[in-house]
C-alpha cells in the first residue's frame, strides 16, 4: 500500500507541471517537484522491494532514474530538454503505477478502480502542487497570482471528479445484486474518509482561493498545508477501504 501511495503522489507532482510551467518564476519550482518525487520513489522502492518481481523493479528504478535526471536538468536555467523530461517522467510513473496493480484484477469493478487511480493521483497532485506554488510567494512575493489561481481551479475539478467516482462506487456497493456487508470497521472509516478526503480539501480550497484573491498569499499557503494533509489522509483511508471492499469508496 505504501508503494502505491508514494507512486500516486510522485505522479501527481509532475502531472500538473505542464499546466503552470509557462508562468513559473524560476526553474527551482520544477526541481523541487522532481526532488520530492525522487524521495517518494525511493520510499516506494525500499518498502516494496522484497515483494517485487524483476519487471516491477526495472520499471520502478527507471522512474527513479528519470526523476533524478529531472532534478539535475531543472537545476539549470533554462533546463536542457526540461519539458521532454517531464513528459518522460509522467509516462514512466504511469507505467509504474500500472505495474504495481494486482495481476489478477478481473472483477467487474476493475474499470472503476483504474479510474480511481487517476482520480487519486489528480487530487493528491493538485493539492500538493497548489500548496508548493503558494509557498513560492513566501520567497518571491511579487510574482503574479496566475499559477496559484490556476492550480486552485484544477484542485476543485479534481475534488469534483473524486466525489463523483466515490458516489458511483457507493451506489454500486449498496445496490449491486450480490450485496455487501457493512462491517463495523467500514461504517466507522467511510464517513471519515469522505469528510476528511473530500469535504476537507473543498472547504480549505475555497478558503485559500478567497485569501489568494485579496493577495494574502501567506494565508492561502497556510490553508493549503491543511488541504494537503486532508487529501493525503483521505487517500490513505481510501486505499484501506479499497483493499477491504474492492471498490474506490
Residues 190 and 231 in one domain: yes
The whole-number pLDDT of residue 62 equals: 93
- For residues 133 and 153, give the distance between their C-alpha atoms in angstroms, rounded to a whole number: 13
- Whether residue 126 sits in one domain with residue 96: no
Check whether 180 has a pLDDT greater than 80. no
Q: Is residue 138 located within the same domain as residue 78?
A: no
pLDDT score for 240: 86
To the nearest 5 percent, what fractions of the chain are helix, strand and coil? Answer: 80, 0, 20
Mean pLDDT (whole number) for 220-229: 95
DSSP string, 111-177: HHHHHHHHHHHHHHHHHHHHHHHHHHHHH-TTS-SHHHHHHHHHHHHHHHHHHHHHHHHHHHHHHSS
Question: Can you give the pLDDT at residue 125?
Answer: 95
Percentage above 70 pLDDT, the chain: 91
Whether pTM exceeds 0.75: yes
Q: Are residues 161 and 217 in the same domain?
A: yes
For the ranges 35-44, 146-155, 238-247, the lowest mean pLDDT is seen at 238-247
**Domain range enclosing 167:** 106-249
| Dihedral angle sign, alpha carbons of residues 225, 141, 11, 59 | negative
Same domain, 221 and 125: yes
The CA distance from 83 to 75, in Å, is 13
Inter-axis angle of helices 110-139 and 28-48, nearest 10: 140
Tell me the C-alpha distance between 133 and 147, whole Å: 7
* Per-residue confidence (pLDDT) for residue 20, from 0 to 100: 87
Same domain? 57 vs 129: no
Boundary (domain end) residue, out of 85, 100, 115: 100
Residue 216 sits in the same domain as residue 122: yes
Residues 150 and 67 placed together within one structural domain of the fold:
no
The last residue of a domain, from among 51, 79, 100: 100
Cell of 244: 477491504
Contact 148, 217 (CB under 8 A): yes
For residue range 65-88, what is the model confidence (pLDDT) as tens digits? 999 999 999 988 788 888 999 999
149-170: pLDDT as tens digits: 999 999 999 999 999 988 888 8
Mean pLDDT of 60-67: 93
- Which one of 74, 100, 126 terminates a domain? 100
- Please give the mean pLDDT across all residues of the chain: 86
Same domain, 92 and 115: no
Whole-angstrom Cα distance, residue 107 to residue 178? 13
- 205-219: average pLDDT: 93
Radius of gyration of the chain (CA): 18
For 247, which DSSP code?
S
pLDDT(247) > 50: yes
Number of domains in the chain: 2
- Proportion of the chain above pLDDT 90, given as a percent: 50
For residue 177, pLDDT beyond 70: no
CATH no. for residue 181? 1.20.120
**Same structural domain, 70 and 182:** no
Q: What is the pLDDT of residue 108?
A: 42
Alpha carbon separation from 93 to 39, 42, 86, 102, 121 (Å, rounded): 14, 13, 11, 16, 11
Q: Assess whether pLDDT exceeds 60 at residue 109.
A: no
Pair (91, 110) in one structural domain: no
* pLDDT beyond 60 at 99: yes
Whether residue 222 sits in one domain with residue 174:
yes
Sorting pLDDT into bands at 50, 70 and 90, what band is 104? very low
Amino acid at each position: 500500500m505504501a508503494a502505491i501511495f508514494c507512486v500516486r503522489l510522485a505522479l501527481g507532482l509532475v502531472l500538473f507541471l505542464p499546466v503552470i510551467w509557462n508562468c513559473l518564476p524560476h526553474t527551482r519550482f520544477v526541481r523541487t517537484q522532481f526532488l520530492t518525487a525522487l524521495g517518494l520513489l525511493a520510499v516506494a522502492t525500499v518498502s516494496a522491494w522484497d515483494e517485487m518481481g524483476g519487471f516491477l523493479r526495472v520499471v520502478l528504478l527507471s522512474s527513479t532514474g528519470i526523476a533524478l535526471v529531472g532534478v539535475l536538468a531543472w537545476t539549470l536555467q533554462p533546463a536542457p530538454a526540461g519539458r521532454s523530461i517531464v513528459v518522460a517522467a509522467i509516462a514512466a510513473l504511469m507505467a509504474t503505477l500500472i505495474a504495481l496493480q494486482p495481476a489478477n484484477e478481473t472483477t467487474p469493478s476493475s474499470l472503476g478502480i483504474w479510474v480511481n487511480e487517476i482520480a487519486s493521483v489528480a487530487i493528491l497532485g493538485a493539492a500538493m502542487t497548489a500548496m508548493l506554488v503558494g509557498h513560492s510567494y513566501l520567497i518571491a512575493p511579487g510574482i503574479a497570482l496566475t499559477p496559484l489561481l490556476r492550480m486552485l481551479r484544477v484542485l476543485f475539478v479534481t475534488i469534483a471528479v473524486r466525489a463523483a467516482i466515490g458516489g458511483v462506487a457507493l451506489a454500486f456497493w449498496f445496490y449491486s445484486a450480490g450485496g455487501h456487508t457493512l462491517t463495523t470497521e467500514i461504517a466507522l472509516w467511510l464517513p471519515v474518509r469522505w469528510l476528511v478526503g473530500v469535504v476537507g480539501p473543498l472547504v480549505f480550497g475555497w478558503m485559500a482561493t478567497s485569501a489568494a484573491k485579496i493577495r494574502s498569499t501567506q494565508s492561502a499557503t497556510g490553508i493549503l498545508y491543511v488541504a494537503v494533509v486532508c487529501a493525503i489522509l483521505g487517500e490513505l483511508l481510501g486505499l484501506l477501504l479499497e483493499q477491504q471492499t474492492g471498490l474506490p469508496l
